[in-house]
Amino acid sequence: MSAVTYCGYVGLLGRPNVGKSTLLNHVLRQKISITSRKPQTTRHNMLGVDTQGPYQAIYVDTPGIHQHTDKALNRYMVANATSALRDVDLRVVLIEAGKHKPEDEHVLELLKKTPGTNIAVLSKVDLLKDKSELLPEIQRLHETGLFEEIIPVSALRSEGIETFREQVFARLPEGPHLFAEDEVTDQTERRLVEEIVREKLMRQLGDEIPHSSAVVVERFVSGENLTEIHADIYVEREGQKRIVIGNKGARLKSIGSEARKDIERLLDARVMLHLFVKVRKGWTNNDRLMHRLGYE
């Protein structure tokens, strides 16, 4: 008789910018999900697989849940996140310690409406100046009656991560593992490369352009000594294109060189990265264009 194994889907949910993707990367000890200081960094649900002994937690990193659904892209992102509310075995809700906002209330309301098992993570506890603030927060979350466990975590200082993993493993349903032991994500190399370039756009440019840009890998050729990649960066207006390119191409060059370093680490290969900037007017509010840029 074979030994008992446990496997389940675990949704990482919360308002934008609470640290969902950062937590996932630290749990996996590998960067698979892009992060930035700006809200709405993650756009698609993506899987990250944590396997240890008999346990396999399949994390679903989701876009932040919010109520600005003016544009088609925003509706797409929020629909991705809320679908995970229903489709997972365990829901992990992140709330930033000391920064409880109305958007968090909205997430809690959604949890109440959809039955399921929940645990809460109080994230970024390293930023709390006064640690005594933690206890009343835990108490308040406890009183909602929604959470089986409330775990303070600092991903950046790797505090609480092991406790978190254990609490997740303990709640996985019995079942066979769905991923091989060495598989960490469901994302293709192409998609991971697109995300890395988008991360550099998010990090290097002001507030508007990151939310108006998309990245599509057009060519991906793995040679013996060199992998050659062509990627298109799409923005919504000519003015944005000029900003992405920068003075004499300086900004695009800097985005490209930062991205290339990460891609070389990911692929463990030398990489030649060519970036092109293109305009697709109003793509974030156009279902057909969104579809073509990978948001289906």
Residues lying near ligand GTP in the complex (CB under 6 A) are found at 14, 16-22, 35-37, 39-42, 63-64, 123-124, 126-127, 154-156
Q: What letter does residue 263 receive in the DSSP assignment?
A: H
CB 192 to ligand GTP: min, Å: 16
- Of 92, 89, 36, nearest to 62 by C-alpha is 92
- CA gap 75, 68 in Å, rounded: 8
The listed partner (ligand GTP, Mg ion, none) that binds 124, CB under 5 to 8 Å by sort, is ligand GTP
Nearer to ligand GTP, 66 or 241 (CB): 66
Contacts of 149 by beta carbon, 8 Å cutoff, 6+ apart:
119, 120, 167
Q: Which of residues 7-26 bind Mg ion (CB under 5 A)?
A: 20-21
Nearer to Mg ion, 20 or 200 (CB): 20
Contacts of 54 by beta carbon, 8 Å cutoff, 6+ apart:
3, 4, 5, 6
**Is beta strand 227-235 parallel, antiparallel or unpaired with respect to 214-222?**
antiparallel
Binding residue for Mg ion, selected from 42, 45, 80, 118, defined by CB under 5 A: 42
The listed partner (ligand GTP, Mg ion, none) that binds 116, CB under 5 to 8 Å by sort, is none
Distances (CA, A) of 251 to 32, 34, 75, 242: 24, 20, 30, 10
Nearer to Mg ion, 6 or 262 (CB): 262
Strand partners, 11: 60, 91
Q: Which of residues 276-295 bind Mg ion (CB under 5 A)?
A: none
CB 210 to Mg ion: min, Å: 13
CB 270 to ligand GTP: min, Å: 28
Which residues of this protein are in contact with Mg ion, per CB under 5 A?
20-21, 41-42
